[in-house]
Amino acid sequence: MSIYAVINPVTGETLAEYPTISDDQLRDAIGGAAAAHARWAQSSTAEERAALVRRVGELHTERRQELAETIVREIGKPIEQALGEVDISAEIYGYYADIAVSLMADERLSVAARDRSAFVRRSSLGVLLGIMPWNYPYYQVARFAAPNLVIGNVILLKHAPQCPESAEAMARIFRDAGCPEHVYTNVFATNEQIEWVIADPRVQGVSLTGSERAGAAVAEIAGRNLKKVVLELGGSDPFIVLSTDDLGATVEAAVAARLENGGQACNAAKRFLVADDLYEPFVERFTAALVGVTAGDPSDPATALGPLSSTAAADRLEEQVRRAVDQGATLVTGGVRNGSYFSTTVLTGLTPDNDIYREELFGPVASVYRVGSEEEAVRLANDTPFGLGSYVFTTDAEQALRVADQLDAGMVFINAVGAESAELPFGGVKRSGFGRELGRFGADEFVNKKLILVGGRS
């Protein structure tokens, strides 16, 4: 069986298989991309590149239903969430089309010498390799491709093995939008092939979203070959509840933060740190709310929770929950596995000597902790190898900012969930990776910021 295949997680049926690219074809793809870069970066204007990217976004909207149904088949994402993913992807392409000209504008610098002037001129680096995950097949590609294409970089895109149909659908969109040949190329490559793609001197940078293990492997190869790399890896984001004037709304936000994409999101809230005086009522309401979310057919618009992405994903999560309980955690509810489906689950009583205390739980499993003070909440929030996002809920505005300043995280959301958008930078610290995507900060990752200094009053 090919490693690139569409396997319906609801039924386990293999719906389609795609052949991997040959070594010769892959070398040709790299060569084609390198040749295309000179034309794309130098013979097109920012306005022309923006027009292409805008059309890519429009085609996402025009093909919205088809694209959404594809990832329902591939990863079991509920159809309403799949439609939402297509929508935000279209917004990202539109956002970068809107700011393309200002993004590439010269940036004047203040110079101490009165007879000199200086500015920074942004330009592309060349061929970039994107290694994408399965959990957001369109959104992740948009975050990487949109800014880099308007800058003038060209893209080699390796998608996750379980997302070949959506990968081909996006490649078709770029072609239909008028993308020049080799400016965006989908490659069904193996991990072994990717090792020498990264090492190829024609490839100037790598962006990976995925696991810690994959990130470490890619960073090691990139570092050995002196390549710029951006990594967006795992997360075990804390959801800190210190005070509230509406516990029901806070619990509703907590459920939404945990169950987005079936809990299979790097920046989903996974650890719930609740002030002592709110702990009991929070656990009671939170558990009841999660129990009320039952899994169903992902193609049904009424379904809020579908299967996990694969039987392998369900195997991993089942093993983690069993191990957590064996090591002393309390299973408040859930822990039931049925094929690729996994019930909403709440764990309490986790201590630092429990493996799960420092592991990422990728699925609808929440761990809840009681904290006696703001200081304890911060210590517990930071006691993790990860540092992607975080959530702080409190009625005290000064406390919110004080806590935010102390959190070891790339993002802090105060009294809000689901607030990510195209203009806001996304990324983390510690073992959650480095670099940023989205916004102006994301667009500056794979850019030559060339200093140009002019001497003399003329």
Q: What tens digit of pLDDT does each residue of 389-435 get?
A: 999 999 999 999 999 999 999 999 999 999 999 999 999 999 999 99
Instruction: Check: CB of residue 317 under 8 Å from CB of residue 326.
Output: no
pTM listed for this prediction = 0.96
Using alpha carbons, list the distances in angstroms from residue 310 to 218, 314, 368: 24, 6, 26
266 is known as an active-site residue: yes
Helix or strand run (H / E) with residue 379: helix 374-382
Residues 190 and 48 both lie in one domain: yes
* CA atoms lying within 13 Å on the CB side of residue 301: 3
What percentage of the chain has pLDDT greater than the value 70?
A: 99
245 burial via Cβ count (<10 Å: 0-12, 13-18, 19+): exposed
Average pLDDT, integer, range 288-297 = 96
- Among 85, 232, 437, 445, the active-site one is 232
Q: What CA–CA distance (Å, rounded) separates 203 from 30?
A: 8
Q: What is the CA radius of gyration of the chain?
A: 23
Using alpha carbons, list the distances in angstroms from residue 400 to 240, 250, 407: 10, 15, 11
Number of alpha helices (DSSP H) and beta strands (DSSP E) in the chain: 14, 20
- For 247-273, b/e burial (b = at least 16 CB within 10 A) is eeebbebbbebbbbbbbbbbbbbbbbb
Amino acid letter, 176: D
Residues 227 and 242 both lie in one domain: no
Q: Considering the domain boundaries, does residue 278 fall inside one?
A: yes
Residues 225 and 276 both lie in one domain: no
Residues 280 and 184 both lie in one domain: no
* Residue (of 214, 34, 219) closest to 128 by Cα position: 34
Instruction: Check: CB of residue 232 under 8 Å from CB of residue 427.
Output: yes
- Among 163, 266, 374, 437, the active-site one is 266
Q: Considering the domain boundaries, does residue 242 fall inside one?
A: yes
Residues 72 and 211 both lie in one domain: yes
Average pLDDT, integer, range 343-354 = 97
Residues 204 and 348 both lie in one domain: no
- pLDDT at residue 107 greater than cutoff 60: yes
Average pLDDT, integer, range 436-447 = 96
What domain count does the chain have? Answer: 2
Residues 114 and 199 both lie in one domain: yes
Q: Considering the domain boundaries, does residue 426 fall inside one?
A: no
Sequence-distant (6+) residues with CB within 8 A of 277 are: none
Least reliable range by pLDDT among 16-25, 212-221, 302-311, 448-457 = 448-457
* Cβ atoms within 10 Å, residue 78: 25
CATH number at residue 142: 3.40.605.10
What is the chain's mean pLDDT, rounded?
A: 96
Amino acid letter, 456: G
Q: What tens digit of pLDDT does each residue of 231-278 get?
A: 999 999 999 999 999 999 999 999 999 999 999 999 999 999 999 999
Q: What pLDDT score does 312 carry? A: 94
Q: What pLDDT score does 457 carry? A: 59
The sign of the dihedral angle between the CA atoms of 412, 415, 418, 420 is negative
Residues 250 and 196 both lie in one domain: no
Q: Considering the domain boundaries, does residue 280 fall inside one?
A: yes
Instruction: Check: CB of residue 173 under 8 Å from CB of residue 163.
Output: no
Residues 450 and 393 both lie in one domain: no
Q: Considering the domain boundaries, does residue 375 fall inside one?
A: yes
Q: What pLDDT score does 1 carry? A: 52
- pLDDT at residue 100 greater than cutoff 80: yes
Q: Considering the domain boundaries, does residue 427 fall inside one?
A: no
Q: How confident is the model at residue 458 (pLDDT cuts 50, 70, 90)?
A: very low
Q: Considering the domain boundaries, does residue 437 fall inside one?
A: yes
- pLDDT at residue 340 greater than cutoff 80: yes
Average pLDDT, integer, range 138-151 = 98
Q: What CA–CA distance (Å, rounded) separates 380 from 352?
A: 10
CATH number at residue 395: 3.40.309.10
Characterize the bridge pairing of strands 127-131 and 154-158. Answer: parallel
What percentage of the chain has pLDDT greater than the value 90?
A: 97
- For 181-200, b/e burial (b = at least 16 CB within 10 A) is ebbbbbbbbeeebbebbbeb
Give 105's strand partners. none
Q: What CA–CA distance (Å, rounded) separates 29 from 156?
A: 8
Residues 196 and 295 both lie in one domain: no
Q: What CA–CA distance (Å, rounded) separates 381 from 219?
A: 26
Sequence-ordered alpha helix ranges (H) in 152-190: 164-176
Q: Considering the domain boundaries, does residue 212 fall inside one?
A: yes
Helix or strand run (H / E) with residue 454: strand 447-455
- pLDDT at residue 456 greater than cutoff 90: no
* CA atoms lying within 13 Å on the CB side of residue 441: 12
Using alpha carbons, list the distances in angstroms from residue 130 to 155, 182, 353, 402: 7, 14, 37, 37
Structural domain range at position 320: 237-420
Residues 124 and 247 both lie in one domain: no
Residues 226 and 241 both lie in one domain: no
Q: What CA–CA distance (Å, rounded) separates 379 from 401?
A: 16
Q: What tens digit of pLDDT does each residue of 18-64 get?
A: 999 999 999 999 999 999 998 999 889 999 999 999 999 999 999 99
